[in-house]
Amino acid sequence: MNPKAIWMILSVLFSVVILAGCASSGQASAISPTQTPAPQEPVKAATPTAQPTETAVIPTPTQELWHLLILGDSSVWNAADIYPPIIERDLGHKVVVEDYSLGGLLMSEVLQVLKTGESIRPELLSLSKTISHAEMVVMFIGIPAGSINPKNPFNQDGCISGDSPPENCNPASLEQYTTDLKWIWGEIFRLRNGQPTILRTMDLYTPLINQYNENGILLACTRCLENYSNAIHLAAEAYHIPFIRRDDIYDGVNHDEDAVAKGYILEDGEHPSNLEAQLIAEQLSQLGYEPVLPP
């Protein structure tokens, strides 16, 4: 046999052997339809490493400080204790009281310190600065000394003592008093420099109704008291400042009721009780807290 034929036969045989090996290998790796695959262990998710937790800190809201200035004589002496809790209840602000309720405070003293910065009372020397940061001012300057027109002098001394009628209590005698009250309100606006400011005021009262009746001077003294109150009201009205008529509360709308019998006057027969101050504070609350706009 020639070599070429032998080579061809060997090539065919080699190809058959290779194909047979491949077939055998494929059958060994095949999975029969009736066979169940071996169960596999489930893959577990990695557990995250625990991290230390921090407690959230919630800041406490800071209460806004709110300055209340009380300016007046001893008839508003207990306002510093009674008014702030009611304002805090109404507005939620922490109230800081600037108490300038001074016994026998004169109109001339307030005018002097606001105009010159000087005063014989050390307590008044800081008044202008205090006004400048007071969100609310409650004022009653009831003694008009320093605001008297020498040509028509106001004089109600008999009604203060309760034993005689006033010498001169006509409305014209109180015109200078009204003018000076207006100036003080205007100065408060100036010192506040456009900041929103709640301004409130009130009138006079008397604890002497029974004495007036006993001495036959009720009509003369109640008329004097009304003129006095109207002078204060005129000054407040010029700036649209809400006004509390204490005389109506103390002495009734006809101004002939005994405030002492109502429990509004202390044992000294002159100064207001805490009950009265509570009533006035509630009146202030009912007026609301709308700022008074400068003219």
**pLDDT, tens only, 75-110:** 999 999 999 999 999 999 899 999 999 999 999 999
What's the CA gap between 282 and 246, in Å, rounded? 12
Report which of 67, 196, 199, 187 is spatially closest to residue 128, judged by C-alpha positions.
Answer: 187
Distance CA 6, CA 2 (A): 7
Average pLDDT, the chain: 83
State mean pLDDT over 276-284: 92
Picking from 175, 98, 104, 102, the residue whose alpha carbon sits closest to that of residue 138 is 98
Domains along the sequence of the chain with CATH: 65-287 (3.40.50.1110)
Dist. CA 223–CA 24, nearest whole Å: 133
- Report CA dihedral (264, 166, 70, 251) to the nearest 10 degrees: 30
Q: Tell me how many degrees the CA angle 93-95-98 measures, rounded to the nearest 5.
A: 155
pLDDT at 97: 96
pLDDT class of 157 with cuts at 50, 70, 90: very high
Average pLDDT over residues 279-288: 93
Mean pLDDT of 171-191: 97
pLDDT at 47 > cutoff 70: no
What span, in angstroms and rounded, lies between the C-alpha atoms of 143 and 75?
11
pLDDT of residue 22: 39
pLDDT recorded at residue 64: 78
Reference 81, options 295, 293, 275, 294; nearest CA is 275
pLDDT in tens, 189-227: 999 999 999 999 999 999 999 999 999 999 999 999 999
In angstroms, rounded to a whole number, what is the distance separating the alpha carbons of residues 209 and 222? Answer: 9
Residue 18 has pLDDT above 90, yes or no: no
Of the pLDDT bands very low, low, confident and very high (cuts 50, 70, 90), residue 63 is low
Is residue 48's pLDDT more than 90? no
* Tokens representing residue 192 in the block: 């506040």
> Would the pLDDT of 53 be above 90?
no
Residue 257 has pLDDT above 70, yes or no: yes
pLDDT score of 179 more than 80: yes
The answer to whether 102 touches 73, Cβ cutoff 8 Å, is yes
**Helix 175-192 × helix 107-116 angle, to 10°:** 40
How many Cα atoms are found within 13 Å in the side-chain-facing hemisphere of 138? 29
How many Å apart are CA 250 and CA 258, to the nearest integer?
Answer: 7
Burial 242-259 (b: 16+ CB within 10 A, else e): bbbbbbbbbbeeebebbb
Alpha-carbon distance of 263 to 115, in angstroms, equals 39
Residue 201 confidence (pLDDT)? 97
- Cα separation, 178 vs 79, in Å, equals 24
**Distance (Å, whole) CA 267 – CA 163:** 20
**pLDDT at residue 168 above 90?**
yes
Predicted local confidence at residue 12, as pLDDT = 36
